Chains A and B, each alone.
Chain A
């Protein structure tokens, strides 16, 4: 599915990703954890082709295609879908019309699109927000659910979710977790999920967890064990552990 080798990425003239190797296979969900500023978001943006994130060296292969020379438009068409940590507010653009346009763009008829939207908005408890402007006046949790819904409606092969769980209450975490799990149960899909808090890890079945510190993946392993260690000891423990390994 996705294969990164020695990836180095610059953002605003600064090297943020300093050589990342990562592999995610079909059916897998990789958790990406790490302290603020460690480069997790930049990594996802670089994968999807945000032009502000310049790949300096290394390779980025998705389903056999080298992505580095492709535009974001082309990468999205290949099946990458990024759920933003901070999606913008779109004044005058209703959540419903945006969602329907995404579905129609995927080739669904108007009726089909409306049916799918109804299903997803019920699943993520967004019915009440459909006729509001996208992200205008949404609470933190509402914004996260709306963003997850739009990303899922895009029907990507590889979901890239940037902190979908920050600021979301327990009940809604379970909703989001089950929506993600359901999505991944379809054949040929995979996800990379950034979580700062690890909360969502209780509601999804991750295959592997990675800790990123200062632009490098410093530790990979069993998600349950790593999440509980980090929740108990914080990333400080990872920093120390990394030192110990050296």
Chain B
């Protein structure tokens, strides 16, 4: 089969799904956006914002890079043997790679995946061959420049058997005008492999964001995802799903969501613990400012014996006009599973503020120390410099709030 045939088979399904609303999040009318290529030609002039989402245009401490502006790939590089980083359109010329093409995520999941499929132009393809450890991160940058555009990158990441890969994706918008980002991502972690995927978003207050992500995690393999959204958005809805289909596999999803302005945010995650002795954890930290609405969902399904899952949703409400919902869900289908959850929403405790002021801090500093503590999530599994970078992002985030 070639790409054309594969697309021909998928097309009717996608067309049928164009009117299919997503179960969560603000329902958008796609006709208000266009699915062109966009006029963006490069990343020049965006160094600063890209740095704030983890992208180093000098590629220091990076083993590969991919930059996309609007719907056009503008740069890609690899610096390690056994590692492929290239635009999807090029990767799909090799029919073998069609094995990963819309295989994890159905095109008719909702109108966003349908539109992404029908208007598909580009995205990144990152693959690590079997038995290769890529210990320096690969970076991918998705920059939205053209007003009114749907940016719909289709990304595929494949980690071979007993291999390791770290990806950092930074997504940002260069303008205040409206736009829609639909990032479609399909991840495949094979037997004994490890993928850590870190994604930092910095959009604008008129941008709608609908990432669609599915991961398949094989036997004894590990999938770790960290998501940080720091900026105001018009609306954001995402709900990555990880299928732990190999025995003994592990997954960890963390998200840090800051609701600002009138942002309407619905961020979740699902772990399907389908094979024996799998385990996983979903963690979220949400902060509500201004008039933002933030819904944090997390769902763990235990379908095989000996699986363990845990959900932790914590929210900090810093405005009376903001709203945070935490919705943890657990589902057990067999007896021998252990699923737990904790959820808590609160405000900054007066007692903690008082204590820190007594320790010599101003009230503002005290708040920022408490918020920073609230945002602390486990960053184990990441390479040291990436973990440090994220710590730094969280430090400056807490200091700026």
Contact = CB atoms under 8 A, between A and B. Distances in A.
A73 B359 contact: no
Nearest to B394: A92
A87 B352 CA distance: 8
B22 interface: no
A90 B357 contact: no
B373 A84 contact: no
Nearest to A103: B360
Contact of B354 (A50, A77, A98): A50
Interface residues of A, number: 24
Given A48-B358, A73-B357, A84-B355, A91 B363 contact: no
Nearest to A155: B360
Interface string B326-356: 0000000000000000000000010110110
B374 A88 contact: no
A98 B136 CA distance: 31
Interface residues of B, number: 20
B357 A93 contact: no
B267 to A, nearest CB: 20
Contacts of B365: 105
Contacts of B349: 88
B362 interface: yes
B372 A92 contact: yes
A133 B359 CA distance: 16
A32 interface: no
Contact of A92 (B351, B355, B373): B373
Given A76-B360, A102-B360, A105-B360, A88 B376 contact: no
Interface string A84-101: 100110111100001001
A74 B349 CA distance: 21
A92 B354 contact: no
Contact of A93 (B351, B360, B363, B372): B372
Contacts of A102: 359-360
A98 B369 contact: yes
Interface in B357-384: 357-363, 365, 369-370, 372-376
B369 A93 contact: yes
A193 interface: no
B373 A73 contact: no
Nearest to A106: B360
Contact of A76 (B357, B372, B376): B357
A33 interface: no
Nearest to B376: A92
Contacts of A76: 357-360
A93 B355 contact: no
| Interface of chain B: mostly helix, strand, loop or mixed | helix
A181 B340 CA distance: 49
Contacts of A98: 359, 369
Interface in A73-132: 73, 76-77, 81-82, 84, 87-88, 90-93, 98, 101-102, 105-106
Contacts of A68: none
A154 B360 contact: yes
A101 to B, nearest CB: 7
Contacts of A82: 358
Contacts of A93: 369-370, 372-373, 376
B373 A133 contact: yes
Nearest to A84: B355
A150 interface: yes
Interface in A46-79: 48, 50-51, 72-73, 76-77
Interface of B: 349, 351-352, 354-355, 357-363, 365, 369-370, 372-376
25 contacts: A48-B358, A51-B354, A73-B362, A73-B363, A77-B360, A81-B360, A82-B358, A84-B358, A88-B349, A88-B351, A91-B373, A92-B373, A93-B370, A93-B373, A98-B359, A102-B359, A102-B360, A105-B360, A105-B365, A106-B360, A133-B373, A133-B376, A150-B359, A154-B359, A154-B360
Interface of A: 48, 50-51, 72-73, 76-77, 81-82, 84, 87-88, 90-93, 98, 101-102, 105-106, 133, 150, 154
Which 6 A/B pairs are nearest by Cβ-Cβ distance?
Answer: A92-B376, A92-B373, A93-B373, A88-B352, A82-B358, A76-B360
Given A90-B373, A133-B373, A133-B376, 9 more contacts: A76-B359, A88-B352, A92-B374, A92-B375, A93-B372, A101-B361, A102-B359, A105-B361, A105-B365
